Structure 1
Amino acid sequence: MIEKLKPILEKNGIILDSSTYAKLEAFNEMLLEANKKTDLTNIKPEDMHIMHYADSILPLANKDLFLKGSSCIDVGTGAGFPGMPLAIIRSDMQFCLLDSLKKRCSFLQYAVNELCIKNVQVIHMRAEDAARGALRESFDIAVSRALAPMNVLLEYMIPFVKTGGRALCWKGPQIFNEMLDSLSALEILYSTPDGLYKIPLDGLEHNVQAILKIKPSPNKYPRRAGTPSKKPLV
């Protein structure tokens, strides 16, 4: 996997040392092995370097998005993307990987322990519930990849972010229509678009939409578990 990933990263100015690549490779091997028994990802092994790793890592080229010492929550991390690759590379940051499925969290905790990754906390909880407790408004950054439409995703993510922090949403070519559908959600959640960053992957239209949080989230959001997806903010 690494021999395919490394040229893509270096082409975009991301230079990693051999020990970092070794951890990425080890995590990938753990994921492939675990995926034989537990359905963690449907991406084919030969496509992992692009669809999981490059897609997760390339936004690091935009240095203003991931500042040294910042805290980041990956909302709906799934098999650990983008959170695990980001955490492996950015040991100067603190990461929380949040997911509602126990099997995913169990795998991620195993990987964190095996790889001795010290800057990651894995939490098994729904976003709507987690954002009402100690994690509320406690992160500089929230990230999420392929979790939900933007007007749903914002209700999941924004309550985790401190005022002045950002939600970074990985999106495909539908981003412009999704943003149009999210105007009410942005207003309700006191947030605003703060830049669209292209992920330079050949033949793929992948983007990161940054959303800036302007002031604290209203206490009623997020609504109870299941409501944001059934009744999106419009």
Structure 2
Amino acid sequence: MPIYQAMLMDWNTRMDLTSVRDGDMASRHFVDSLLPMKTEGLIPKTGRLIDVGTGAGFPGMPLAIANPELKVVLLDAQEKRCSFLRAVKEELHLDNVEILHGRAEDAGRDGKLREQFDRAVARAVAALNVLSEYLLPFVKVGGRMLCWKGPGAVEEVPAAKSAIAQLGGKNVCTLPMAYENEHHVLVCADKKEKTLPQFPRKNGIPSKRPLK
């Protein structure tokens, strides 16, 4: 983790990868990424996980480092972030990590990725009903989506349940996560049925016209 953090600080001065501006803030992101590992069954030790809209690699990269037998795909729409993540992968010799440049809407329709993952995760990249359309198409039946959200996410859940059900999800729950003065919520949903072929919709549509 120290090498990853040092690379993040260095690259960020040149490429503006993330809002993380100091070592303390980066450390909080690392801890926040790994907190779900304290709850048995949330993060598998093996299998496949995809981090959608990974940015500078949170939470997927720390999870990959901590679970070397877990195959982790890091997906992001910005090539500069993917370049950074490739450099981290090479420096740390992370054979269990794959970096993909692309949008969630396109990748979720790719037969090599669609419903191929035990977990699909994201960290505060959109409203929950939008996130669900990004994540659930990647999750195989029997898998689970995990969303790192702020404390206000509890209020998003009732409105998102219909969207989650339309995408094949069920059993939505929220788990509080706290680290020092940081308070977050992990929103989880199980994949119970295959996602209908019309989802995800075309680029930009999930955010412009969220499922209801």
2:156 is aligned with 1:187: no
Contact 2:49/2:71 (CA < 8 Å) preserved in 1? Answer: yes
Moved more, 60-69 or 79-88: 60-69
SS in 1 for 2:188: strand
* Aligned position for 1:96: 73
SS in 2 for 1:143: strand
More strand by share: 2
Contact 1:158/1:213 (CA < 8 Å) preserved in 2? Answer: yes
Shift of 1:103: 0.4
- Counterpart CA distance in 1 for 2:13 and 2:182 is 27
Q: Which runs of 5+ in 1 are unaligned?
A: 1-23
Contact 1:164/1:212 (CA < 8 Å) preserved in 2? Answer: yes
Contact 1:193/1:209 (CA < 8 Å) preserved in 2? Answer: no
* Aligned position for 2:12: 35
- Give the TM-score normalised by structure 2: 0.96
Shift of 1:183: 2.3
Identity of aligned residues (%): 43
Equivalent pairs counted in the alignment come to 210
Contact 2:49/2:121 (CA < 8 Å) preserved in 1? Answer: yes
Shift of 1:62: 1.1
Match of 2:143 among 165, 178, 181: 165
SS in 1 for 2:42: coil
- Larger of the two Rg values belongs to structure: 1
Q: Which letter does structure 1 place at the counterpart of 2:199?
A: Y
SS in 2 for 1:220: coil
Match of 1:143 among 97, 121, 135: 121
Q: Which letter does structure 2 place at the counterpart of 1:116?
A: H
5 Å-filtered alignment, 1:100-115, equals 100-115=77-92
* Aligned position for 2:178: 200
2:104 is aligned with 1:127: yes
5 Å-filtered alignment, 1:216-227, equals 216-227=194-205
Contact 1:195/1:209 (CA < 8 Å) preserved in 2? Answer: yes
Shift of 1:63: 2.1
Shift of 1:119: 0.3
Match of 2:34 among 49, 52, 57: 57
- Counterpart CA distance in 1 for 2:45 and 2:30 is 21
RMSD: 1.0
Q: Which runs of 5+ in 2 are unaligned?
A: none
SS in 2 for 1:142: strand
- Counterpart CA distance in 2 for 1:86 and 1:150 is 22
- Counterpart CA distance in 1 for 2:171 and 2:121 is 15
